[in-house]
Amino acid sequence: QQQQQQRAAAAPTGPLYNPKFPLYALVRALNQAAVLTLGLRPSSPQEELEIVGLQMVLDSALARQATNGATWYVVAMPWWQALQLHLSQPWQPAPGPVDNSPLFRSASAWERITQSRFGPRLRPNLQRNKDYDIVSARMWGALQLWYGADHALPRPFLTTASGRGEVELYPLSVRIMRHSQLNPAQQKKGDDDSKKMPQVHYFFAIDISRLQTIGEVARYVCQQQRSQQRGKNNLRTEGMRLWDYRNADTPRLLDDDAQTVEEAGLVEGQAILLEYRNSDLTWPSELFLLARAGPKGGDVQTGLSASREPGTTGLSNLGNTCF
């Protein structure tokens, strides 16, 4: 009751806020928009109910026009219903900080080390309007300022085959691999081809959206690479490219930056090879093919074509450049 009195005392007053004022409806709508835009707390549960209701109508309209990939937010249904109950019946207790924990599942050791911008792992088979609902970035920003939240669940927006707006609940987790860095003495030692080709090993793991393009994934990998190797003097970001490394015997170059992750056929848990250019502008994979050709030379490109699937030519191009 004391909180409601404080809100009432803080409510705007004056002739503009008199219901008899000719432009009262317009002023009220502008006030509601300002509250959402500036993150101000509504003066009463009634005003908050009106603002939330207005934004829900706007969200519904936005969902019909939103572009795939736009960021929306997942809200657990128990908290969302508790908020609506409080707003419609102010004597009911406020719901407290946004609680999305009913949607979470325990993460495996592998998942705990995965770098994710999507928040905690979600339980499988979640259903909208039963387990969760989605809100726009503006609505989420207001809820976070008004109530606080422990975990945000941003998700890429997508349009289903039926035309309904939805979000990508379960992003893909992939392992980023890279070549070991060999010094010149190691590269010249022995005649065994395997010693001349740097070994591939695990670097880090990330979550990606099926709607991201290969170019966007490459830039994101670059950002994570910088954070992983912060402070190292030998960090090179002038050139890199990505390979679909699901099958180590027949890796596939991901050289179409406009292609989406889904179109590229990438799947959950697979490996992606991050290949750096050498200081002499060669690629480790090219050196391996030259080593296999032997001192007598040979048709390196033919050797590649014979051991790779269609669509993996173009080794000499720049690939995904990271600046």
pLDDT for 111: 72
pLDDT for 131: 97
Burial of 92 (0-12, 13-18, 19+ CB in 10 A): middle
pLDDT at 183 > cutoff 50: yes
CA atoms of 144 and 141, how far apart (whole Å): 5
Whole-Å CA distances, 189 to 107, 185, 196, 289: 43, 6, 8, 17
Mean pLDDT of 191-211: 76
Higher pLDDT, 126 or 17: 126
Whole-model pTM?
0.73
pLDDT for 184: 53
Sign of CA dihedral 184, 190, 194, 200: negative
Mean pLDDT of 293-300: 52
pLDDT in tens, 248-295: 888 999 989 999 999 999 999 999 999 888 778 888 777 666 665 555
pLDDT at 62 > cutoff 90: no
Q: Which helix (H) or strand (E) holds 48?
A: helix 45-65
pLDDT for 8: 46
Whole-Å CA distances, 314 to 5, 202, 283: 70, 25, 12
| Upper half-sphere CA count for residue 78 (Cβ side, 13 Å) | 7
CA atoms of 265 and 158, how far apart (whole Å): 18
Residue showing tokens 């480790």: 284
Query: Out of 13-17, 71-75, 266-270, which region has the weakest mean confidence (pLDDT)?
Result: 13-17
Query: Out of 33-47, 63-77, 249-263, which region has the weakest mean confidence (pLDDT)?
Result: 33-47
Residue 119, token pair as written in the block: 């928040």
